[in-house]
A and B are shown apart, each in its own frame.
Chain A
Amino acid sequence: SYELTQPPSVSVSPGQTADITCSGDKLGDIYSCWYQQKPGQSPVLVIYQNNRRPSGIPERFSGSNSGNTATLTISGTQAMDEADYYCQAWDSNTVVFGGGTKLTVL
């Protein structure tokens, strides 16, 4: 079965850029999405189709996907961005999530 691999944790200073990676075999050949989840809340879609932002998602969130790696980039990271982030892709008609990355803003 298809697997997506994320680093368990990433730390960033306020105002700096955070990059969260997601690796999978030929991931760049398919669309990837990213979700933000804060404690006690439901996940929120922040990136779809590799690099598109839903309405209401700040411009500091961007994405890329090439080769075997998709990347979520948060520019000018704010304290409110501290959360768990999950990548997601499709494998045939099933959905696969990465294990999640805890972003700490310190």
Chain B
Amino acid sequence: EVQLVESGGDLVQPGGSLRLSCAASGLTFSSYWMSWVRQAPGKGLEWVANIKQDGSEKYYVDSVKGRFTISRDNAKNSLYLQMNSLRAEDTAVYYCASVSYFYGMAVWGQGTPVTVSS
């Protein structure tokens, strides 16, 4: 069974840091671009970041540039999102997903909630 499982979401104070993880199984992880997508409470989907198969290319939405870092460890079939200088507006459920221009975001995790509040 193809599966993505996120973890690491928590309640954190403004200005704090958090590291999200996404464990992949049932797919050839190293063959896929991967994404983080978030959804604020009651709001729509917002793409956050992409990373190429070998980690050599990374792209971010403007609102997280300089604060968030996407990375991956293909040997561990894992994707990460390091989030620094967190703001209230970063409060959301964070999903990881496999992504392709040709095939879309075919596999999604169940999401992990991040709450930024004092």
Contact = CB atoms under 8 A, between A and B. Distances in A.
Interface of A: 1, 31, 33, 35, 37, 42-45, 47-49, 54, 84, 86, 88, 90, 92-100
Contacts of A93: 50, 57, 59
B9 to A, nearest CB: 14
A86 B39 CA distance: 12
B105 A1 contact: no
A43 B95 contact: yes
Contacts of A33: 104-105
Interface string B80-104: 0000000000000001000101111
Interface stretch (B17-25, B70-78, B107-115): B107-115
A100 B44 contact: yes
A33 to B, nearest CB: 4
A1 B62 contact: yes
Given A54-B106, A86-B44, 6 more contacts: A43-B95, A43-B108, A49-B103, A88-B45, A95-B50, A95-B105
B61 interface: yes
Contact of B102 (A35, A37, A48, A94): A48
